[in-house]
Structure formats: C-alpha cells, structure tokens
Structure 1
C-alpha cells in the first residue's frame, strides 16, 4: 500500500496545469529592438500558439479580408466564456481593439500581442469585469 501511495504521489507531481514554458512568446518587435513587426502569418501563428497554451485566449476566423485572407477575432476572458451573448448577460464590458486597418499602423498590432501575452502570463493583472477582444491584423 505504501508503494502504491508513493507511486501515485510521484505521478501526480509530474502532472501540471501550468502552461508549457518552453514556447517562446517573444515578438518580432521585441527581438528586433522595435525595428520590425510581424507579418500576417506570424501574428496569427503567435495568437494561435497563445490560445493553445492559455485557456483564457480564444482565436476564431470570423470572415475574410478583401485580399482573401481570414479575419480573426482573438478574445481574452479569464472566466473562459467566449460567447458574446453570454458575456453581455453577465454584465461584463467588451473592449474591441481593431488593428491594422491602415497600412503602416503596426504599433497597435505589436502592442496588442504584448498586452495579451503579458496578461495571460501574469505580468499584468487580469481584467475582472472586462473581456478583451482584438482583430489582430
């Protein structure tokens, strides 16, 4: 019996609900010291990996751009509710950040990537009554 308990303790200590720390969420903006920004594909890849790692993030395609690329909506909600009708019923506020609506406006794209990452990684306090949503690029 003691061996069984010891084995269970060892196995349970191996399991973790914490996200994997081996994924590098450093942005192109950061690695280039602010001289470069991520491409469309890099932005979507960043948010997709963020959503796969942190359950507070959801990414979904919601339409198509005039150039035929998917328009995505990335949502950050610490309560893990991503249905906007339900979010409204719970009297939470929704803040939408619409990035990249004009050429050369990469500052918001980069800032949103940093904001979403820093919130889910605990560097910035998670909003309690506000759901953040962004059209990333």
Structure 2
C-alpha cells in the first residue's frame, strides 16, 4: 500500500511540474490563449523617433513608460526606445488627451527604459498608471 501511495504521489508531483513548465513556456512563447499576442525582448539598440503631435492638454501614460515634460513652444517631441520596441509604443490624441501606452496584444520586455520627451505649454491633468512615470522638468502652465 505504501508503494502505491508513493507512486501516486510521485506521479502527481511530476504531472504538476510538467504542467507548470508548459504554462511558463506557453506564457513566454505566446500560446495559452495568447496566440495573437506579440512577445518582444528589447534588442538593446536605442533609437530616437520624432513625434508630430496635435494640440493636447492632458497626458496619460501607462505600462512603465517614462515621460519627461518641458514647458516650451518647441515642437521637438520624441520617443527614445529600443529599435524593436519603439514602434510598439502607441500615441493617440482624442479630445485633447494624449495617451501613451503599449499597443494592445503586445508584451514587451525592454532592456533599456522607454522614454517619451514632450514639450508642452499648458496642461490641465497628468495621469500615470501601471508603473509609469511623469517628470515635469520645468514649470508648465495649468
């Protein structure tokens, strides 16, 4: 009886370990109900991608992105990120709200910070979610 219990217990542990490993591999590889999700590891090659933006007075950022805001009329806005990740940073403006996030169905694993540098004169609200950071480098009119 003891040997049967030991065999069942060992088989249960092995089954659990196999299932756990398969889940972890599936999470990285994109299966496990994530067939359409991109998993991108940063390649370490930093690029500066210029942004052309229309009028906004609210900034909302998420997913660990760092936003630096300067008070300036200068229209030099940019994304600084790894070359294989920069195009996955999504910038949208609706009703004068600038939203900065990672494209849906994308899981990114940057090896360097994702930085968005903005120049803005008048802002009414700043919103940071999911480990995002907003740094205001110089006074901005509100």
TM-score by structure 1 length? 0.29
Find the structure with the greater CA-based Rg: 2
> Which has the larger helix fraction?
1
Greater relative CO, 1 or 2 (CA 8 Å, sep 6+): 2
